[in-house]
Every structure is written in C-alpha cells, then in structure tokens.
Structure 1
Amino acid sequence: MSASAGNKVQTLDTATMVLATMRRRGISGLPRNYELVYEALNASNPRLTRDFEQLGRNPAQEDLDELGKRHFPHHHRTGVVEGAHDRISGELEGMLRLLRQEQSSLESYSKLLGETYSRISSKSASSADILSSVINVLSNATGDTMQKGKIVVEHMVERAREMEQVKLELDEYKRIANTDPLTRLANRRAFDEVLSNIYNDGRKAMYYALIVADIDHFKKFNDTFGHPVGDRVLGVVAAVMKSTLRKDVFISRTGGEEFAVVLEGTSLEVTIEIAERIRRAVEQTPLRNQKTGVDYGPITLSLGLCMASDAESAEELYNKADVALYTAKNSGRNRIHVYNPALNQDFEKNWAIYRG
C-alpha cells in the first residue's frame, strides 16, 4: 500500500471504517449489522471484538444475529415478548376454564328447570307438595347460580385487568427498546422496522425517501474535547433535526454518529430541500461551553439520499443512500448527494485500496 493510501486509511472516520469492514467481510448492509460492526471496531467490549473476529469473512446472518443477542441487552426482545405471550396465554386459558364452568353450571340449572317443569306438570302429586318443593329447589338453585355467576364475572374482570397490565408493560418495553437513550430518537431497531415496512405495499414505496446523515469529523470532537463533548454533539444534532422537521417525520440515530430520516409522501425535489434544511440548520448551530465560553467549533453533516422508487428492498434502499452519503463525505463533506447508478463504480473503485 502506498504512503498516500496509508494516510488516507488513517484519516478515515469511524463510519467509513465500519463500511469498509462490512464490505471487505461480505456483511450485508443491514442497520443492525452496522451497529454490531461499529461496537466491535470500537473495542470498548474486548469480548465482543474477539467474538466478532472469530466469525471471519462472509459470516452467516444467523451468526451475526446470535452475536448481537449475546452482547446487546436490547436484542433480547424476543424473550420479553415470549414471556408476555405466556402470561397472556395463561390468562386466556383461565378465562376459558371459567366460561366452561359457567356453561356447565347454566346447563345444570337449565336441566333442573326442566325437571321442575315436569314435576309441576305431573298429576300424581298434590299441588301443595309440588309448590313447596319447587319453591325450595328453585330458590336454592337460583341463589347458587347467581352467586357463581357473580364470582365468574369478578374473575373475568380480574383477568382482563391482568392482560391490560401485560399490554401496558409490552408497550413500555417497546418504547424503551426502540429508543436511543442518548438522543431520545428512535434507534436502529426501530429504523429497521420502519424501513422494512416501506416495501410491504409496493404501490406506496414510490412516495418514500431515505436520508442518511453523518457528523463530519466526529472523532475529532471526542479526541480533542473528550467523550462528554462528543455526546453533546450528538444531542445537539438530534435536537436540531427534531426542531427542523415535522413531528410526524421519522428520525433515528442508526449508530455512532449516523442518523436517518424516512420521509413519506415526498418527491425528489422536496427531499433535497429537506436535506439541505437539515444541513444548514446544523451548520448554523453554535457549540459552546456555557460556563467557560469555549467554542468547540462548527458541527457539519454530510448527507446522502435515495428515493424508495430507486430500490427494490429496504436493504437496497439503505445501501444506495449509504453510497450517496459516502460520495458526499469523499467529495468534501458538509454537503448533500443524491444517489444515482453512476456512483456505484466510483464507490467500488475507491474501496479497492482497502481490500486485503
């Protein structure tokens, strides 16, 4: 490798290194894979880094997902949901048991009424004996049946409340599991779900667009001022994006210093305008220490965008927006680039120097 190529590798930011690793190892460009590779390269978890290295080249997606489940607590959603499913199933079984008991009780009461009617219709007993017997039997049976019915209703209400509590717990779990704790934006898991839903109805896909944004020179903030300032940069970018876009627009932090915006009911022209609005708003937001007055310098974003109509799947849409983002960063940063097929050739050519 030449000296210039070596220098280029050294100046790569984290996002670019993650992409290089994924492409070199044949890892699919799924958002959850980006998170896994990012954390493995970050080396903050030596065990994760070691386990990731042991996967080698071209790891199976099942192995990547299994590694993610082992090292990321929020990947255990399946266990939580299964537990809730078991609780709800238990409550439903209890309800069905109560209903069967109630049905059996009512059938017995109906049978008793039929027998009583037969006795009343019989001409072999005196009227006084019949009425005395009927009143006694029906009084006891009716009282017992009503009491049992009341108990059944109370149990049904109790079980319904329990299932409602399970639902509330699941809703809260989903909210936490789909939220990035630092920026309070949607996280990569939520992004995965939203992106995949775009192509559930092919007719609607043509009205969607994806914008991916990456903070320029983010590593320099961490190295120069420390991770607390880096965290503040992430918080500022998240806040600016939320204030710039409508409340119903989906915004997520998809990993590290990368963010994504999914737009619905949009055109290419409108999407470019929105991306430019985000870029300009971030660039114009100062980053200073309010106590010391230290100016940490400007924050800038590089953005890549792709219309959903230019892709066949969620994975392809993300990859194409990612290519556009790489182009924006490689051509000077702090700018927007729209995906077009011609970018693929330049992208692959530029990555050739990183392949072993």
Structure 2
Amino acid sequence: MQGATSGRTSTPDIAGQITHAMRLMGIAPIPRNYELYYEAYLGSNAQLSKDLAALGSRATQEELDAIGARYFSHIHHPHGIERAHSTLTAKLAELVSLLKEEQSALESYNRVLDEAYVNMTSKSAASADILRHAIGLLSDATADTMNQGKERVQTVVQKSFEMEVIRQELDEYKRIANTDSLTRLGNRRAFDESLAAVYNNEHLRRFTGLLVADIDHFKKINDTFGHPVGDKILATVGNVIRANIRRDAFVARTGGEEFAVILGDSSQEECLQAADRIRTVLASTPFKNSRTGVNYGPITLSVGVCMATAADDPLDLYNKADIALYAAKNSGRNRTVLFEEGMRKDSGRNWLIYRR
C-alpha cells in the first residue's frame, strides 16, 4: 500500500524530480525511460526499483530497454510512439508545403489577372488582338489554377486522412500507457491526471469525492498462496469495484494492492454509500480454486474517503483519503472511514532509487 505524508504543503514537482534524477544518472530523458523511472518512483514494483538501482549511475539504453520489455511489455514500445510522432510531423510538413504551393499558385493567378486588367483597360485595348490575347490568357490561367486546385484538394484530403490514422495510433499508445495491464483499470499515471483535473474545474471540486481502498492482509495472501494467486485476486477485486460503481466514475489501480475511485457529481453520503457497497459485495464474493477446492477468501477492503472540498489540491486530497484509509485499517479493517480534521498518519515513501 502506498503511503503519503500529510499536511497542507504545495504539490511537489514530481516530473521535475524524476527528470533531475535521470539527468544526474546520465539517462536520456525520452518517454520510455521516463516511464520506467516514474513507475519506480511510485514504488508499486519493488523489484523494478531494485533492477534499476542495480544498473548504477550510468545505465545504457539497451539495459533500460531490456528492463522495460521485462516489466512493461504491453506498453513499452521503444520506437512506436517516436515513429508515429515522426510520421505525423512529416505529414504535417507535407501539408504545409501543399498549402504554400496553393498560395504561390494563387499569387501567380492574381498577377495574370492584374496583367489582363491592365491590357483591357489601357488606351490601346480597342485592338481586337490585344483583347483576344488577354481573354485567352485569363482562360488558360483559370483552367490551370482550377485543375491544380482540384489536385491539391484531393491531396490535402488524403494527407488529412493519413494524419487522422496516425493520431488514432497515438491515442491508442496513450490509452495503453495509462492502463494497468493486470486489472485493465487506469494506472497511477492516469489517476494523477484525472485527480489534477478535479481542481481545474470549480464545479468538479465541489461535487467530487475520492475513495482510496486497500486489500486487507494482502501480503499474507501472497506469502501463503503465491503471487499468481495474488494477481488473480487483484484482477477480481478490480472487476468488483468497476462493476459496483457508476460507469462515469474513474477507477484505477494506483499501486500494489491499492485502488482509487474518483467519484464526480456526488455528495459525501453518496461516496460513503458507494464505498460500503463495494466492500459488502467484495466480502461476499467467493475466492475459491474450482479445481483444487482451496479457499482463498474472504477478501476484504478497507476504504478511506475524502471530499475534494476538504482538501487544498490533488496531493492534499490524496493524503487525506490515505489518512482515512489508515484509520480504517487501524480500527479493525473491512470498513469505510471518512476523513476528518485532526486525523494524522506518520508515514512516508522510501524511494529505493533516490536514496542518498
């Protein structure tokens, strides 16, 4: 379970901290490297943190890519996003070039119009040959411009279609990168983005609650039955949470055995009811191996709840919901606790790769 320090402090520049640490270690600040160190910073995978620390202060890109492929094969595309971005940039450059050609063609056509106008309005325009020449010049220029315009329109349409395909590819990369592979819920990165958005809109802030839930005695489950069973339990818990919360609620696995729900357009009472509904359903859900008959249950959750109006910013909101979660653990587990002023919890993250 992820701890967090309490207090009304300003939100730390997590991206800056990670980038600074990478710079000190000589790590290229490219997206796939940042992804590795971001996950290690969250502390949800202790072995990943150990593997990165074992590389020392001057890891090669090949070593980092090998770790990325090992832990995040579902989202670690060393070249996918960069390739799509490069292709999109090239298509945009081609489109700009076409528009410049169109502008140049129109400027040339305007010059022809000006020349024809001067010829037809000059004192010598009475000459049938001059008038005929001017009309022929206009006709040819107009036809050429229209034909070139049609070709460019078709090309622009094609380029726009190609850019849309690439945009969809980038969107898919982002979706995958924001998804927890085990539970198919949002991951910590997606959670951080969604929680920050609450404080970008006053209406959201007034009617949003945060639920932070943690599986009770999960370490004992892993130690007794093994990590494969633990992974199946995590996936099932994720399904139970998702099935018993409103469709428009944001649900994430934020690390280890911890889950979070951002519930908008809800009162405090509705948030508490949602938390208790999830707990009750999970506690009655059977966790049994149909082949061996081994019973892994019951599986229960402790839940901390805090309303966005009770916190100053996203970090403060998470801290207070986490404090309420600890209160639920300390008061017997398998219960929901609402944050109240005066609650305190002494804890802090111990980032392996950032130890001095």
Band the TM-score falls in, shorter-chain normalisation = 0.7 to 0.9
Whether the 8 Å contact between 2:40 and 2:48 is mirrored in structure 1 is no
* Aligned twin of 2:266: 266
Query: Per-residue deviation at 1:50?
Result: 4.4
- The higher radius of gyration belongs to 1
| Alignment correspondent of 1:284 | 284
| TM-score using structure 2 length | 0.75
Structure 2: stretches of 5+ with no match in the other structure: 16-36, 58-63, 350-356
- Contact 1:35/1:255 (<8 A) preserved: no
Give 2:340's aligned residue.
340
| Cα distance in 1 for residues equivalent to 2:337 and 2:123 | 99
Contact 2:187 2:253 in 1 (8 A): yes
Equivalent residue, structure 1, for 2:353: none
Shift of 1:113: 3.1
Identify the residue that residue 3 of structure 2 maps to in structure 1: 19
Question: AA paired with 1:115?
Answer: E
Q: What is the distance in 2 between the residues matched to 1:126 and 1:267?
A: 85
Alignment correspondent of 2:51: 47
Deviations 1:165-193 (A, max 9, x none): 22211211121111111111111111001
Q: Which residue number corresponds to residue 210 of structure 2?
A: 210
| Structure 1 residue 162 displacement after superposition | 2.4
1:290 partner letter: S
Cα RMSD after superposing both structures: 3.6
- Aligned twin of 1:36: 41
Answer 1 or 2: which has greater helix percent.
1
Aligned to 2:193: 193
- How far does residue 147 in structure 1 lie from its aligned partner after superposition? 2.5
The 2-side partners of 1:340 and 1:30 are apart by: 27
1:119–1:278 CA distance, 2 compared to 1 (3 A): same
TM-score by length of 1: 0.75
Partner of 1:313: 313
Distance in 2 of aligned mates of 1:124 and 1:268: 88
2:243 is matched with which residue? Answer: 243
Higher relative contact order (CA 8 A, sep 6+): 2
Task: Say if 1:136 and 1:324 are closer, same or farther in 2 by CA, change over 3 A.
Answer: same
What percent identity do the matched residue pairs reach?
48
1:110 deviates by: 2.8
Note the C-alpha offset of 1:93: 3.8
Structure 1 unaligned blocks of 5 or more? 1-14, 55-66, 352-356
SS at match of 2:346: helix
Are residues 255 and 209 of structure 1, via their aligned partners in 2, closer, same or farther at CA, if it must alter by over 3 Å? same
In structure 1, what is the equivalent of residue 29 of structure 2?
Answer: none
* Contact 1:234–1:257 under 8 Å retained in 2: yes
Residue by residue over 1:222-279, the C-alpha shift from the partner in whole angstroms, topping out at 9 and shown as x without a partner, is 2222222111101111111111111111111101110001111222222111111111
Secondary structure of the residue aligned to 1:348 is coil
- Give the match for residue 293 of structure 1: 293
Equivalent pairs counted in the alignment come to 312
Call closer, same or farther: CA 1:271–1:164 in 2, change over 3 Å: same
Q: For residues 108 and 340 of structure 1, what CA distance do their matches in structure 2 show?
A: 73
In the alignment, the residues of structure 2 paired with residue 224 and residue 39 of structure 1 have an alpha-carbon distance, to the nearest angstrom, of: 20
For 1:163-174, list aligned pairs within 5 A: 163-174=163-174
CA contact (8 A) 1:185 1:252 kept: yes
SS at match of 1:211: strand
